[in-house]
Amino acid sequence: MSAPLDLPKWADTVLVPAISVVAAFLVAGLVVVAIGENPLTATRWLLQGSLGTGEGLGFTLFYMTDFIFVGLAVAVAYHAGLFNIGGEGQATLAGLGIALVLNNLTFLPGFLLIPLGILGAAAFGAAWAAIPGYLQAKRGSHIVITTIMFNWLASVLIVYLLVNVLREPQSMNPETRAFPEQSYIPFMHEVFAAFGIEVPASQLNLTLVLALAAAYCVWLLIYRSRLGYAIRVVGSNPTAAVYAGISPARITVIAMVLSGALAGGLAVNELMGYQHRLLLEFTSGYGFVGIAVALMGRAHPVGIILASLLFGILYQGGAELAFEQPAITRDMVVVIGGIIILFAGALDGLFRRAVAHVLTRQKLARV
């Protein structure tokens, strides 16, 4: 067995993922060439559509907000040695929590209703994640299996509730009535307009600020708190954690509760910030993208923010690319994302060894 690779934090968090992304785009370029298109032109449209205009940048940052929340959710569980695949279900239940709070407390002013909606999302997401956490801690049920099952349970539950319980009687669409206006999280273009700054309208809203604050809080939790230390010890060596007086079962449940609460941020961004009602499939598969985001970002908040930006560029720029170059469909953009995940995950060790070799040679050269 080879010795573990000891890389500096900056190299592990930034350099190795960056090399993986570059290699992935080179391979994706070969795929584009194989279908008879120019990869440089495709890259130009990808970046132009996602970063080249104010509207495109707004949509990119909107997607980035979703990915930050679900990436952080996966990361917190990952540090505890858990692979939480249930972000989709947890965000779905968080959406239910938002709808129940906002549509039953319509008499409250916005400065109370918005925080209560956010807390409702966190509470329902945390509660939904706590059950697989408890089953793992107390019954030995594997967290991957239970979270996958709970994704399906959440999907079935929300369909039943929207069709039979929460749907407006006058509407044929499986969705709730619109949330009260005072519960809407302001759009960024509206916030800038209040200060006399005109920016193009987009879905981007102030939830982005909440996502960045959540990333900072997760950094403080994991790397600057006793609880975070306990989470990392359990994730690294549960047996050693027991000898240190740390309960792996307790930490497992706590980590999953925190993970589910963070996944609820996706519902806040989509429902309180944009859709303004609970509807089917508002998560759009973003919970699964969060797994790739967390892996690419090395489960570190800074890396997760950067990886979220990359996937935001792919989502928004991919739509522009498919429009300008019809031969490159949205499915091709999904393939590019898959190649990035492949290089960032399965081939990660290859790039880590190469970087470690180069850095070791540089260190020896200085000596």
For 154-200, write each residue's pLDDT tens digit. Answer: 999 999 999 999 998 888 889 999 999 999 999 999 999 999 999 99
Mean pLDDT score of the chain: 91
Range of the domain at 167: 64-316
Residue 176 lies in a domain: yes
pLDDT given at position 124: 98
Residue 300 lies in a domain: yes
* Selected residue with higher pLDDT from 15 and 250: 250
pTM for the whole structure: 0.93
The dihedral sign for the CA sequence 297, 300, 306, 308: positive
Say which CATH number the domain at 285 has.
1.10.3470
pLDDT given at position 296: 85
- DSSP 3-state of 97: helix
Full DSSP string of 79-98: HTT-----HHHHHHHHHHHH
The β-bridge partners of 279 are 175
Residue 19 lies in a domain: no
Residue 39 lies in a domain: no
For residue 200, the tally of other CB atoms under 10 A from its CB is 14
Contact 202, 188 (CB under 8 A): yes
pLDDT single digits (tens) 335-350 = 877 887 787 766 777 7
**Domain count across the chain:** 1
pLDDT single digits (tens) 207-239 = 999 999 999 999 999 999 999 999 999 999 999
Residue 98 lies in a domain: yes
Residue 328 lies in a domain: no
Residue 117 lies in a domain: yes
- 190, 234, 212, 247: which is closest to 69 by C-alpha? 212
Percent of the chain with pLDDT over 70: 98
Residue 95 lies in a domain: yes
